[in-house]
Amino acid sequence: MTATHPTHGHTTAKHGLATGMMVFAAVMLMIAGILAVFRGIAAIAEDEVFVSTRNYIFEFDLTGWGWIHLALGVAAVLISMGLFQGAGWARVTGVGIAGLVIIANFLSLPAYPVWSVIMIAMSAFIIWALCSPRKGDT
Sequence spans of domains, the chain: 25-51+58-131
Neighbours of 16 (CB within 10 A): 11
* 132/58 Cα distance (integer angstroms): 33
What digits encode the pLDDT tens for the residues 20-78? Answer: 888 999 999 999 999 999 988 988 887 665 555 566 555 667 778 889 889 999 999 99
pTM of the model: 0.76
For the chain, where are the alpha helices, taking DSSP H only?
8-44, 62-84, 88-107, 113-131
Whether residue 69 contacts residue 43, with contact meaning beta carbons closer than 8 Å, is answered with: yes
Region of residue 60 (left: phi > 0; alpha: psi -120 to 50; beta: else): beta
- The single-letter code of the amino acid at 39 is R
